[in-house]
Each structure stands twice: as structure tokens, then as C-alpha cells.
């Protein structure tokens, strides 16, 4: 199944898959890929890239390559964790809302309309400041603001599916909600879930980088957004050559991952012949 999908990808899609796998490999095997610690100085401060520090050092003399490798762990963890939790919430509420209708549907659709109308970034900033900067809190906050994307699409799909004759026959024979969900709904909505999951990863990575850039990230860990926060808070960063490695490299890794996941989601939409509008 996966090989069949990959064969349908364009060159850009295949390159995106390779880049995502490379970044995941970098995150998993970070201890084996770095020579210096990510949290303690290992050389002169603000050293340009050289053989000893291939991406240079920051103002404390901490190796930037080590920070980026370990930062990949946190950035990818937040992306996948947020996408997984928000997808579970969105799929469940979308199916329940579309299948049962009535007051349940009114409550879910009202919540979707409210969350879509309110700008998410101010809510993330306030919630992040209130609950405190930690990776767990960031995943929970982002998930509670991201579930509306899959829920809205899946609700529409379930509303159409439940009118199909085979669903009505199954209900007539006494099939339970769980049986209809796993036997009939899930095979139909799985492509939508898969594409939404990839889109949510991309959105979560950008959101996490934004929060970390604003100083609301977990200070006990390292992420690409937190590296940018420290770099841009350095006085006179753009009046020196330090920005060439301290700002450019973490920003480049964020852009590569976000563009790769966005391209992958577009390829999945094309290959699976679905379209998730408005996301």
C-alpha cells in the first residue's frame, strides 16, 4: 500500500519524503551525530563554522550543530504529538457529530465555528503564559486549537456516508455505533485522516517555533524556535556576521521541514484523489 502510494508521488514528493526521513533520522540518532554537548559550552563564543564546529557556536560557545540535532527531537515530537492528539479528538468529534446529529451536532459545530473565528496565535500566547512553558503543555494547547480542522471535514463526510443504503441496512439490522464506525466509516475517512495528520504536523511545527520564538517554549529543552529566540535577542545580531550561522541554520531547518510536510500532504491529496479545502 505504502509503496503503491510512493510510486504515485512526483519528484518533489519523493524528495520531501527523503528530507523528512533524514530529519527524523537526525533527531533519533542525535547522540551519534554530534561530537559536542547541546547544553554546555564546547568552544569559543560566536565562532564561525569550521572543522571543529561545522555550524559554528552561539554566544555561550555551545555547538549549534548539536543544538539543531537535539532541537529536531523537540520540534518533531511537538509536531507529531500535536497532530496525533488533535486528529484523535477531531476524528472522534467529527464522527459523533455527523452520525448522531441533534444537540450533539449543534454543540460540536458551535465549538468549531468559535475556534475558527478566534485568532489562534493570541490564544496560544495567553495559554502558554498561563499554563507555563513545557513541551507537554504546548502539545495540549496546540491540540485543543487544532482539532477543528479534521473534525469539520470528517463531519461532512460522515453526514454523506450515513445516508448510504448499506449504512441504513446495517442500522436496521441492529449494528452498533462502534461497529458502523470501524467497519464502514473508518475505511472511507482514513485518506482524509492521513492527509489531515500531515497538515497538522506542519502547522504544529510552525506554532511551536512561534511560541518558542516568543519565549514561551520549554527552557529545559532545545528546539529550533528557541535557538532563534536566543539569536534574535542578542544585541546587534544583524550588525555582525553572527546571523549568518546563528539565525540562518535553524531557520533553514524549520523551512525545510515545513515545506516538506506541506508538499507531502499535497502529494497525498493528489494520489488518494481527495481534496481538503480550507486547511
Task: Encode pLDDT of 215-249 as tens digits.
Answer: 777 777 788 888 888 888 888 787 888 888 898 99
pLDDT of residue 3: 66
Per residue in 20-76, pLDDT (tens digit) is: 999 999 999 999 999 999 988 988 988 999 999 999 999 889 999 999 999 998 888
- Judge whether 278 lies within some domain: no
Cβ atoms of 227 and 250 closer than 8 Å: yes
The CATH number assigned to the domain holding 33 equals 1.10.3720.10
Cβ atoms of 139 and 82 closer than 8 Å: yes
> pLDDT category, 206, cuts 50, 70, 90?
confident
Domains held by the chain: number: 1
Q: How far is Cα 277 from Cα 195, in angstroms, rounded to an integer?
A: 11
- Judge whether 63 lies within some domain: yes
* DSSP per residue, 114-176: HHHHS-HHHHHHHHHHHH-S-HHHHHHHHHHHHTHHHHHHHHHHHHHHTTSHHHHHHHHTT--
Query: Can you name the residues that pair with 99 across neighbouring β-strands?
Result: none
- Judge whether 174 lies within some domain: yes
- Judge whether 37 lies within some domain: yes
- Judge whether 111 lies within some domain: yes
Q: How far is Cα 14 from Cα 28, in angstroms, rounded to an integer?
A: 21
- Picking from 76, 67, 64, 83, the residue whose alpha carbon sits closest to that of residue 24 is 76
- Judge whether 47 lies within some domain: no
Q: How much is the pTM? A: 0.84
- Judge whether 277 lies within some domain: no
pLDDT of residue 272: 76
Q: How far is Cα 127 from Cα 207, in angstroms, rounded to an integer?
A: 13
Query: Can you name the residues that pair with 63 across neighbouring β-strands?
Result: 57
- Judge whether 279 lies within some domain: no
> pLDDT category, 277, cuts 50, 70, 90?
very low
For 63, the domain range is: 2-42+53-271
- Picking from 261, 142, 130, the residue whose alpha carbon sits closest to that of residue 208 is 142
- Picking from 112, 262, 137, the residue whose alpha carbon sits closest to that of residue 208 is 137
Rg (CA), the chain: 22
Per residue in 82-102, pLDDT (tens digit) is: 999 999 999 999 999 999 989
Q: How far is Cα 278 from Cα 113, in angstroms, rounded to an integer?
A: 13
Amino acid at each position: 500500500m505504502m509503496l503503491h502510494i510512493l510510486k504515485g508521488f512526483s519528484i518533489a514528493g519523493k524528495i520531501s519524503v527523503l528530507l523528512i526521513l533524514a530529519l527524523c533520522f537526525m533527531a533519533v540518532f542525535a547522540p551519534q551525530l554530534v561530537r559536542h554537548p547541546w547544553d554546555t559550552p564546547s568552544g569559543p563564543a560566536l565562532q564561525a563554522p569550521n572543522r571543529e564546529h561545522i555550524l559554528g557556536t552561539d554566544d555561550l560557545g555551545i555547538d549549534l550543530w548539536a543544538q539543531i540535532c537535539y532541537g529536531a527531537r523537540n520540534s518533531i515530537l511537538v509536531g507529531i504529538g500535536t497532530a496525533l492528539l488533535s486528529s484523535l479528538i477531531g476524528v472522534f468529534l467529527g464522527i459523533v457529530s455527523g452520525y448522531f446529529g441533534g444537540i450533539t451536532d449543534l454543540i460540536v459545530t458551535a465549538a468549531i465555528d468559535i475556534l475558527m473565528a478566534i485568532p489562534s496565535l493570541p490564544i496560544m500566547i495567553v495559554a502558554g503564559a498561563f499554563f507555563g512553558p513545557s513541551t507537554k503543555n504546548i502539545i495540549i494547547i496546540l491540540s485543543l486549537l487544532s482539532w477543528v480542522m479534521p473534525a469539520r471535514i470528517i463531519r461532512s463526510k460522515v453526514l454523506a456516508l450515513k445516508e448510504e443504503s448499506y449504512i441504513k441496512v446495517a442500522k436496521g439490522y441492529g449494528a452498533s455505533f462502534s461497529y458502523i464506525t470501524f467497519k464502514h466509516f473508518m475505511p472511507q475517512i482514513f485518506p482524509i485522516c492521513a492527509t489531515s495528520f500531515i497538515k497538522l504536523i506542519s502547522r504544529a511545527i510552525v506554532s511551536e517555533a512561534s511560541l518558542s520564538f516568543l519565549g514561551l517554549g520549554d527552557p529545559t529543552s532545545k528546539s529550533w524556535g528557541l535557538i532563534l529566540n536566543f539569536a534574535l535577542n542578542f544585541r546587534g545580531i544583524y550588525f555582525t556576521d553572527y546571523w549568518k550561522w546563528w539565525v540562518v541554520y535553524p531557520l533553514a531547518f524549520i523551512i525545510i521541514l515545513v515545506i516538506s510536510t506541506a508538499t507531502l500532504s499535497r502529494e497525498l491529496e493528489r494520489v488518494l484523489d481527495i481534496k481538503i479545502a480550507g486547511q
